[in-house]
Amino acid sequence: MDTRQLEMFRAVAEEGSFTAAASRLHVSQSAVSRQLKLLEDELGTLLFHRTGRGVIMTGAGQLLLGAASRISREMQDVTSQISETGTLQRGVLSLGGGMTVCLYILPRLLRKFRAQYKQVDLRVITGTTETVLRLLRTREIEIALLTLPIVAADLEVTPVLKEEMVVVTAGSHPLARQRSVEPKAVARFPLILFEGGSNSRKVVDEFFVEEKVPVNVIMETENVEIIKSMVAAGLGVTVIPFNAIAHEVRTGRLGWTRLRGHRLYRETGWVHLRSDYLPRSVTEVLRIFDSMKTQFGRGLPK
């Protein structure tokens, strides 16, 4: 058994097929099949049940996957520790996040990071929480800034921001002239919300369920810029973090108000794989974020 065989085994387990694993590793499918057969012969047991649609891991395969993942993480940690010098002068920082984070937080954060570490390449991937967590687990990214809650034994989660969510309307909308509104008043208008299943959307859905207020959701999207454009066009209202609309409020394009007697919050946190070691690039971006934290968590205007 060698590390290359374990890498091929992990790829098949995570991708669900020999073809997809071969594509991910840039080798032939026959090479993957041959190495996995040698590994199964050495262990004296099947690791996968082959089906017409792909593979299903056996109990032995699931046991080996846990060990293979730990070995891979430890090898990458050791490699990073050996290659790093006293100052961060090279390498790659790979981050992931949802659409709102990538629009309003990462640009300012990474601009400051780049000013200090010009030789470090930056790679940013946006997607749903499920997509970003998969990329973390396959080590295609090193760290992510995601909407919480996220609970998993293999992940380290550090809450860092708590943003108030407000009712957002077109600038000329009658609700925008009120300091606060009842949930029933909001529900009279069509709602344009984040996609179903997202943690940001769950905050809104759970609130209206608790209030026993039926709502009419006419559009769902993960793209906050689309939500704002639709609301500004008068097609409906939304409930999103105030920080996402601060500029449009100043220009009068959008208006906002609070929910009377209620505060809705969205919490955001850094997420990475549990490990005894974090690459220097990751610890530095966390340090810089900490120094800028007050810029991202500003309160609502009076």
Q: What is the 3-state secondary structure (H, E, C) of 14-27?
A: HHCCHHHHHHHHCC
Do residue 75 and residue 165 come from a single domain? Answer: no
Q: Is 261 contained in some domain?
A: yes
Do residue 260 and residue 172 come from a single domain? Answer: yes
Do residue 79 and residue 168 come from a single domain? Answer: no
Mean pLDDT, all residues of the chain: 89
Beta-ladder partners of 239: 167
Selection from 158, 128, 164 nearest residue 143 by Cα: 158
pLDDT attached to residue 268: 93
Do residue 170 and residue 78 come from a single domain? Answer: no
End-to-end CA separation in angstroms for the chain: 65
Q: How far apart are CA 205 and CA 222, in angstroms?
A: 15
As given in the structure block, the two tokens for residue 66 are 């846990």
- Domain containing 23 equals 3-83
Percent of the chain with pLDDT over 70: 92
* CA angle, 222 then 174 then 200, to 5°: 20
pLDDT reading at 79 higher than 70 = no
Cα distances from 104 to residues 27, 162, 184, in angstroms, run 39, 14, 30
pLDDT attached to residue 261: 87
pLDDT attached to residue 85: 45
Query: CATH number of the domain that 181 lies in?
Result: 3.40.190.10
Q: Is 302 contained in some domain?
A: no
Q: Is 146 contained in some domain?
A: no
Last residue of a domain, one of 66, 83, 100: 83
Give Cα 272 distance to the centre of its chain: 10
- From 176-190, 242-256, 288-302, the region with the lowest mean pLDDT: 288-302
Last residue of a domain, one of 55, 83, 111: 83
Query: CATH number of the domain that 70 lies in?
Result: 1.10.10.10
Q: Is 276 contained in some domain?
A: no
Number of domains in the chain: 2
Last residue of a domain, one of 83, 107, 133: 83
Query: pLDDT tier at 89 (50, 70, 90 boundaries)?
Result: low
Q: Is 71 contained in some domain?
A: yes
Query: pLDDT tier at 71 (50, 70, 90 boundaries)?
Result: confident
pLDDT reading at 84 higher than 60 = no
